[in-house]
């Protein structure tokens, strides 16, 4: 049987690219990144990665996408489901397949961290690097910039997503899913 162009391209990439022992694919399907990855592409990617002895990590946002990727054989979930509560069936499937879940909450926090001047900007340890970062710190402390961050649509959406992320992390941890990045790496 002749491989499709998608599978041929994925095979080529996996043969010629030094990914180490795993690969990542960023699935961007939410308000700020509206392009979907077609199922035939992520299924072929996961299948070919596994045939080459590599694990696949997907950066996810929506539960629907997480369920689809897990069903296709995903090995690690990064960034976390942030659109709704994870359900018991999803938790059970992650646990059954021993799929690590890495919530990376600092990614969300970074979107709105500088809507005000962070307290650590006056911490003596932090200030030791002032000579290197003064220009950046001055920009971050600019009231107009802070207002723009504070009132931005992305900050509004991501604050809500971060709360959802924290709820899901609790549900997953209580359900026995591996939620530690260090455990995911050495698995």
Distance from C-alpha of 56 to C-alpha of 76, rounded to nearest angstrom: 6
The parent domain of residue 133 ranges over: 5-186
pLDDT, position 187: 43
pTM attached to this predicted model: 0.76
- 3-class SS of residue 112: helix
pLDDT tens string 33-71: 445 677 887 888 888 888 888 888 888 889 998 999 999
pLDDT tens string 90-118: 999 999 999 998 888 888 888 899 999 99
pLDDT band for 125, please (50, 70, 90 cuts): very high
Higher-pLDDT residue of 172 and 7 is 172
Domain count, the chain: 1
Structure tokens at 113: 């961290």
pLDDT band for 22, please (50, 70, 90 cuts): low
Contacting residues for 41 by C-beta, under 8 A, at least 6 apart? 6, 10
Distance from C-alpha of 127 to C-alpha of 116, rounded to nearest angstrom: 17
Decide if 140 contacts 117 (C-beta within 8 A): yes
Q: What is the dihedral of CA 39, 42, 48, 54, to 10 degrees?
A: -150
- DSSP-based helix, strand, coil % in the chain, nearest 5: 60, 10, 30
Whose CA is closest to 107, among 63, 65, 61? 61
CATH at 81: 3.20.20.140
Residue 83 predicted with pLDDT over 90: yes
Distances (CA, A) of 169 to 53, 68, 77, 184: 29, 19, 12, 15
Highest mean pLDDT among 14-18, 66-70, 177-181: 66-70
Structure tokens at 33: 């990144």
Distances (CA, A) of 56 to 33, 48, 110, 113, 184: 20, 10, 25, 30, 12
* DSSP designation for 180: -
Q: How many CB atoms lie within 10 A of CB 83?
A: 19
Structure tokens at 52: 């080459």
Whose CA is closest to 78, among 51, 96, 55, 53? 55
Which of 14-28, 87-101, 145-159 has the lowest average pLDDT? Answer: 14-28
């Amino acid at each position: 049987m002749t491989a499709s162009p998608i599978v041929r391209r994925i095979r080529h990439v996996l043969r010629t690219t030094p990914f180490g022992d795993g690969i990542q694919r960023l699935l961007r399907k939410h308000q700020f990144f509206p392009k979907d990855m077609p199922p035939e592409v992520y299924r072929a990617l996961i299948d070919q990665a596994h045939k080459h002895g590599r694990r696949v990590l997907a950066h996810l946002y929506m539960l629907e996408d997480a369920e689809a990727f897990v069903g296709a054989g995903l090995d690690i979930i990064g960034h976390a489901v942030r659109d709704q509560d994870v359900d018991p069936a999803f938790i059970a499937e992650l646990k059954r397949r021993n799929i690590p879940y890495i919530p990376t909450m600092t990614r969300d926090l970074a979107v709105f961290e500088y809507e005000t001047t962070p307290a650590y900007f006056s911490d003596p340890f932090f200030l030791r690097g002032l000579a290197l970062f003064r220009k950046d710190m001055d920009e971050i402390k600019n009231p107009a910039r802070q207002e723009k961050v504070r009132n931005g649509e992305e900050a509004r959406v991501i604050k809500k997503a971060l709360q959802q992320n924290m709820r899901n992390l609790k549900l997953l941890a209580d359900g026995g899913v591996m939620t530690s990045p260090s455990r995911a790496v050495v698995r």
